[in-house]
Structure 1
Amino acid sequence: MTQAKSQLISIEELIKLFVEDRKEGKKELITWFLNNVMDEEAIEQLKADKYERNNERKGYRNGYKKRKLNTVDGELILDKPDIRSGSFTTSVFDKYSTVEKALESVIVESYINGVSTRSINNVINKLGVKVSPGYVSSLNKELDIKVKEFLETRIDDKIIYLYIDASYFKIRENGKYKSMALYISIGVNSKGIRQILSMDIYNSEDEIDWNNFFYKLQERGLSGVKLVISDGHKGIMKSVKESFPGSLWQYCHFHFLKNLRKTMGKDQWKSISRIVSEALIDESLFKVAIDRMEEMHLDKAIDMFYGWYDSLYSYISFPEQHYRKIHTNNVTERLNRELKRRTRKIAAFPNNDSLMRLVVSIAIDINEEWSLRKYINMEVD
């Protein structure tokens, strides 16, 4: 609606339009109101009304300039006063900038929460705002920049404890959907603060891929690692020994118990599980657990317990106050559950980039939360 039109139409006509066509009528009412707000601002800044002559006048009008404003009611075309030989400032667009920010938040949050790019416009249309494909694309580019920054940021603090794991997601590749491994690393630095250090996508969990993942971390400055905690995947185990010489590796107790259970029947597990769990947190009970397994003729379980003995008790080389946090990989398990929760509505991702945008956005938010408090108290005797 032009300024000329706004001067000709009466408030009664605007109200009538609002009653007849609520959506368009509301836009006309808001446009009329905001144009009048800017006119009043112009009067205040010029110290004179239109065509008014007085000694305090600070300038002259030069018509109007069209200015678009996105609002929850749709796109408005406003008439912003133009000042000859000067500039006009208005609070209208600043006040409504929150609308544009809210709009952007909806798009980004929709993307992060698993709404496909195709569906984003449907979400935005519910706000009564039209968004160009280029705008959505620009936001995706911003997310890609965040992903790049996350994957390349220097790791300046020494990382004492390193938790690693992989979670699987379906991704489209060459026209087919396949299960891909999302590698995850979480570190606890010398101050006791935990942080998601990196995420990356690989075809599987073989030793070569884990070597590559660790190499990238070390290229970014990863150092000081004394203990690596993970499940018992052979690819991880071999790569840890090669990539972190001198460091210890801890076989996550949760995963060990899960695998140990597979060597026996349900009733046998009920009988033995408690003593085995107690033996893992009190090494003096190891022989007690072995004796009990021998009585039950659980040869596979005995071989497994002896075979992993050293890696099951690596954690006792560190302060006792840290035991509870470093004998399992629960910190990555919780992160994986959160990632799965946030991606539950997504059957499969269209490509690697779409998964990385999502998981890195989640990781950045989690890191901000984690940075506020210590995970482990490193100031112990």
Structure 2
Amino acid sequence: MTKPTFDMEAALKALREGQDLTGKDGILTPLIKQLTEAAMKAELEEHLANEEAPNRKNGKSSKTIKGPTGSFELDTPRDRSGTFEPQLVKKNQTHLTDELERKILALFALGNSYQDIRGHIADLYGVELSNGTINAVTDKLLPELQAWRERDLEAIYPIVWLDAIHYKIKENGRYVSKAIYTILGLNIEGKKELLGLYLSDQEGAHHWLSVLTDLNNRGLKDILIACVDGLKGFPEAIETIYPDTEIQHCIIHQIRNSMKYVASKNQKAFMSDLKCVYKATTLNAAEIALDDLEAKWGDKYPMVIQSWRSKWPTLSTYFKYPDYVQKAIYTTNAVEAVHRQFRKLTKTKGGFPNENSLLKLLYAGILKATERWTHPIQNWNLTLSQLTIHFPDRLDKYISL
């Protein structure tokens, strides 16, 4: 008995009546089924023609296939000897193409929950997915993530920003706070590159030391300027691995920490005077403004002034550079922008069942974010020229003129 072929007239009628092309009961699903089965039949005939031992057709087997236009029952031809291996739809394959997986990963990379992903896939393709299936698809990111975390790095990154972000992860039946260490580098071409993600129980100088050691082992031998937050002991950790690196403490972190100790009634006036320090045009003007700040507020807020004094060598690094270099290094805004993207992905999640569930989501977000990192940062040629003047012996060998 001859099977009915795809009914074009019926399909056009359904289309005029507003029936969907794809998804559940999609118009194109029977056509995809017909074409797939015809192609597999041709595969079997070619296989039989090339077989040396006697062999022949041996009926068909049926399985459910999830395709881009919807699910359908596919009749797969068999041979008597069992040597036929279909190439279009392999024996254990349940998806016609990897389009569904790409769509799942794309939705996952936008921060969609598994429930939302299930709904989107059902609307688009008429395919019902379980959380286990989605988890299996997203778990395919883990080997790729591991390879990315172990990849070789360039020998020099002129500017590197380092910061941490915290998440709740389930451990031994309860949720604990853990730090994700994010290292963002600027390569010799002025393009951003995320160098790594590291997870620890808490943010601390000791763990930063192991992070920096790993960067060094992966090939990063020199950093000209490292922009960091106010973590105690952080500069010492950097100096241990990269002794010639200039440290720039983040001005914004320092301001935030300072204002915690200033009474609300004095914050506006204090901030106005503090601006004269970090907005000064020269180092000398900044130091005069710091003296004035201490003279006015030192008796009331000695701990705040002492903090600025003790960190001044690393807070004031940026004053030696022109304004276009200062904008790049005086805060950790560049890496905090990455953290803002992370928060968008994770904002609907109070915690994560394990470390991998967090890391694979952040990695998916990284892949999405780095699609835009194709051009050098603003004024990079001017910045590189300045850095070449300040670090001639360390940069010249990496720059081809």
Aligned position for 2:326: 323
Corresponding residue number in structure 1 for 2:213: 215
Deviations 1:177-224 (A, max 9, x none): 121111000111222222110011111112221111111111111122
- The one-letter amino acid paired with 1:158 is I
Q: 1:233 aligns with which of 215, 231, 234?
A: 231
114-123 or 236-245: which moved more?
114-123
| Partner of residue 393, structure 2 | none
SS at match of 2:230: coil
Paired letter, 1:284:
N
- Assess if the C-alpha contact under 8 Å between 1:186 and 1:196 holds in 2: yes
Which residue pairs with 2:47 in the alignment?
A: none
Residue 314 of structure 1, CA deviation? 1.9
Partner of 1:109: 106
CA shift digits 1:54-111 (9 cap, x unpaired)? xxxxxxx99878676423553123458999xxx9x9999xxxxx98444213321333
Q: 1:65 to 1:120 in 2, by over 3 A?
A: same
- Which of 138, 141, 144 is 2:139 aligned to? 141
Residue 267 (structure 1) shift: 3.8
Match of 2:288 in 1: 288
Among 304, 314, 317, which residue is 2:317 paired with? 314
Which residue in 2 is equivalent to 1:56? none
Partner residue, 2:345: 342
Q: Which runs of 5+ in 2 are unaligned?
A: 43-56, 90-94, 390-401
Q: Tell me, yes or no, if structure 1 residue 174 matches structure 2 residue 172.
A: yes
SS at match of 2:190: coil
| 2:164–2:182 Cα contact (<8 Å) kept | yes
Amino acid at match of 1:105: R
2:351, 2:181 → 1: CA distance? 17
Task: Describe the shift of the 1:353–1:150 C-alpha distance in structure 2 as closer, same or farther (beyond 3 A).
Answer: same
Per mean C-alpha deviation after superposition, the further-off stretch among 222-231 and 263-272 is 263-272
Asked if 1:304 is matched to 2:304, the reply is no
Partner SS state of residue 219, structure 2: coil
CA shift at 1:238, angstroms?
Answer: 3.0
CA spacing shift, 1:33–1:211, aligned 2, 3 Å = closer
- Write out aligned runs for 1:37-186 (5 A): 69-71=65-67, 74-78=70-74, 100-117=97-114, 120-126=117-123, 127-131=125-129, 135-186=133-184
**Farther-moved stretch of structure 1 (27-36 vs 137-146):** 27-36
Q: CA deviation at 1:25?
A: 12
CA deviations on 1:106-160 (whole Å, 9 max, x unpaired) are 3213333344557654543343114467753542332001211210110024111
Distance 1:33 1:108, change over 3 A: closer
Letter in 1 for 2:66: N
Q: Kindly report structure 1 stretches of 4+ aligned residues shifted beyond 6 Å.
A: 7-12, 21-26, 38-42, 61-65, 80-83, 89-92
2: CA distance between counterparts of 1:241 and 1:202? Answer: 21
Inter-CA distance 64–29: structure 2 relative to 1 (3 Å threshold):
farther
- Give the Cα separation in 1 of the matches to 2:275 and 2:7: 82
Q: Is the 8 A contact 1:69 1:77 kept in 2?
A: yes
* Equivalent in the alignment of 2:398: none
Could you tell me which residue of structure 2 aligns to residue 47 of structure 1?
none
Whether the aligned pair in 1 keeps the contact of 2:21 and 2:28 (CA below 8 Å) is no
Aligned residues of 2:21 and 2:27 also touching (Cα < 8 A): no
Task: Give the aligned partner of residue 189 of structure 1.
Answer: 187
Question: Aligned AA for 1:76?
Answer: F
Which of 230, 254, 257 is the aligned partner of 1:256?
A: 254
Aligned twin of 2:201: 203
The offset of 1:326, in angstroms, is 1.1
Asked if the contact 2:226/2:248 (under 8 Å) is kept, the reply is yes
1:370 aligns with 2:373: yes
CA separation of 1:79/1:157 partners in 2, compared to 1, >3 Å: closer, same or farther?
same
Pick closer, same or farther for the CA change 1:104–1:77 going to 2, 3 Å: same
Taking a change above 3 Å as real, the CA distance of residues 77 and 289 of structure 1, as seen in their structure-2 partners, is: same
- Deviation for aligned residue 1:247: 1.5
Residue type of the alignment partner of 1:273: L
Measured on the aligned residues, the alpha-carbon RMSD in Å equals 4.3
Distance 1:262 1:35 in 2: 66
How far is 1:32 from its partner?
Answer: 4.5
Deviations, residues 8-32 of structure 1 (Å, cap 9, x unaligned)? 99987x989xx9x999997496454
Q: Which residue of 1 aligns with 2:277?
A: 276
Once residues 352 and 257 of structure 1 are traced to their aligned partners in structure 2, the CA distance between those partners, rounded to angstroms, is 33
CA deviation digits over 1:303-329, x for unaligned, max 9?
222211111122345566422211111
- Tell me: CA distance 1:253–1:34, structure 2 relative to 1, closer, same or farther (3 Å): closer
2 CA distance for matches of 1:110 and 1:25?
17
Q: Give the Cα separation in 1 of the matches to 2:149 and 2:135.
A: 21
Q: CA deviation at 1:370?
A: 1.3
* Identity in percent: 24
Matched pairs, number: 353
State the alpha-carbon separation in 1 of the partners of residues 332 and 195 from structure 2.
Answer: 15
